[in-house]
Chain A
């Protein structure tokens, strides 16, 4: 299965800019479906970016984060060709992990 995580990490020499887009419904638990039944909450709780064995960003999310979440940040360091590890876990215990090369 294709990864749910799409990442672009670009090094500008001093810093690396990371943009990530994740496929996830991010159901809040407040929305009803066509039949009028509540759709149970289903959302990513924690998203972690790791570089060189260290976390460079840890995101704790609630259901108010939009569907197919997007996040952008930068960190100091990061060399072209190095790996960045991205992983998430949701409130139902599902998870996904991917590696991305810094460009």
Chain B
């Protein structure tokens, strides 16, 4: 009895210490793990993605994954744009749970032109006007349910949008 008794409290203390450590680590992890993820998803301007030259690199920098081609992404763009400084582009989708829509112009100095965050309740359709340096492929990327879908279309530009 006298031999086992000192050992018993010691193990109990160890177990208690262990649980405290687990609790501390657990508490510490939750706020640190979630906060940056939210900020990145909601607010931060994706500076890095806008600096990428090619559309592949820009999509990777923006979403961290690659897009698969889908006919559920609709890209409305003129076949011939008389003025490359103002090309009307509309992107819409019939996919569910759309969280983001981005538009890229391959031949521009930096491919990514615009990226829209679509909160729940906002319809997955955005219209805007973009500049195009010359005849180029325009790529619409839609993020839906955590996956990326894209479609592309060539726009013939007769007068460039970069000073002409």
User: Footprint of B on A, CB under 8 Å?
Assistant: 15, 26, 28, 30-32, 45-46, 54-67, 69-77
Contact = CB atoms under 8 A, between A and B. Distances in A.
A66 B128 CA distance: 9
Contacts of A46: 45
Nearest to A61: B114
A70 B117 contact: no
Contact of B114 (A30, A55, A64, A67): A64
27 contacts: A26-B131, A28-B109, A28-B131, A30-B162, A30-B163, A55-B117, A57-B116, A58-B116, A59-B128, A60-B50, A60-B116, A60-B117, A61-B115, A64-B108, A64-B113, A64-B132, A66-B85, A66-B86, A66-B128, A67-B86, A69-B128, A70-B127, A74-B123, A75-B121, A75-B122, A76-B122, A77-B121
Interface in B71-113: 85-87, 90, 105, 108-110, 112-113
Contacts of A61: 113-115
A51 B14 CA distance: 54
B154 to A, nearest CB: 17
B125 interface: yes
Interface of B: 42-43, 45-46, 50, 85-87, 90, 105, 108-110, 112-119, 121-123, 125-132, 161-163
What is the predominant secondary structure among interface residues of chain A facing chain B? strand
B162 A73 contact: no
Contacts of B43: 58
Contacts of A71: 126-128
B129 A69 contact: yes
Nearest to B126: A73
The 10 lowest CB-CB distance pairs between A and B, nearest first, are A64-B113, A31-B163, A72-B127, A58-B117, A66-B129, A75-B122, A62-B50, A60-B115, A74-B123, A76-B121
